[in-house]
Amino acid sequence: MKPGGGDLIVSQEFVRPNPGCGHDSPGKQYPSRTYTPQDFRPVCECLLQAIIPRHCESNRCYNNLYEAADESVVTLREQCGTYQGRNASFPLSKFRARPECGTEVDNVLVMTQRDYRPVCACIRSQEEFNHPASNDVIYRDGFGPHTIDVFLHVVVISKSSLRARRFNTKGDLESEFHHIVLQAAQTGIIFNIKSIDLTIDATWATGQHNEQMRKALHKGDNRDLNFYMIDELDNSEIGYAPIPKSTHTYCTPPPLGEVWKAERIGDPILDGCIVTTGTTQRTTSISMQRWIGTCKLATR
């Protein structure tokens, strides 16, 4: 279905009884129902808005391009497909305030490929823009900081555990998290902590049954980072797979990608990273390369 195109004609065999919109299609060879853009466009708009990665909005020119598209993601995606590397021009009357991007010429705002390309590439789901691998990629293509929302899950053995005590002191766990991911952050990624929760479970806190833990605590979707901070691994040789005993840190690859399928990880809500106390920045950085989907994180 191409939103904004012509009417959509659907065979009656695919239409539920007593449909709430559309109209019967007279004169067709087979019984069918016609839906106009006014019928299906609001649905497409809603669905597309939901699948646009939230971090796309952190691109410098997103808000101006969104305004120029009459605040419609559908229109913005369609317009992105027409630029073809040429300059894009918009009447200044489209904008409520003075635009941050582009160049004003008379009463027109002119945006170059450098202005709109990062936004269009992100909302049209081009992988190399959604998951920039290094400073070189980010700055060569005119990126500002790349934001990833984080749901921080602290899982401890008891209330007396160090991280349980830190949970009650504002800023302590946030500081620990940002210290752990410092090397990844140096590539131009901003980790935005959306929430922190504390779970007391002596089994989960030692790495056992961590699949069950992830299914129970997971928040957001696969655009967000679920980061599980647990206590020390159990001394047994089994029970905490797939966390490597050598590193005590584990991150999944990008959900439903080729590596994900090859490793037979399963449910997408299992994505994220698990770290234990005492993990190092280097170990976490190497593990996070899998989750971000890069081959190498180039740090300063």
Place of tokens 């655009």: 223
Instruction: Name the 3-class secondary structure at 34.
Output: strand
* Percent share of the chain, pLDDT over 70: 77
Residues 180 and 104 in one domain: no
Please report which helix (H) or strand (E) contains residue 154, including its range.
strand 146-156
88: Cβ–Cβ under 8 A, 6 or more apart, which residues?
79, 110, 111, 115, 116
- Residues 55-69, buried b or exposed e (16+ Cβ, 10 A)? bbebbebbbbbbbbb
Residue 30 within any structural domain of the chain: no
Residue ranges making up the domain that contains 265 = 135-292
Please report, as a single letter, which amino acid is at residue 50: A
C-beta of residue 255 within 8 angstroms of C-beta of residue 237 = no
Residues 180 and 281 in one domain: yes
Residues 166 and 229 in one domain: yes
pLDDT tens for each residue of 194-247: 999 999 999 999 888 899 999 999 998 878 899 999 988 776 655 577 888 777
Instruction: Name the 3-class secondary structure at 183.
Output: helix
Residue 217 within any structural domain of the chain: yes
From 124, 143, 174, the end of a domain falls on 124
Residue 299 within any structural domain of the chain: no
Residue 17 within any structural domain of the chain: no
* Percent share of the chain, pLDDT over 90: 20
Average pLDDT of 163-190?
A: 84
* Mean model confidence pLDDT for the chain: 78
Q: Give CA–CA dist 236/250, Å, rounded.
A: 17
pTM: 0.52
Residue 156 within any structural domain of the chain: yes
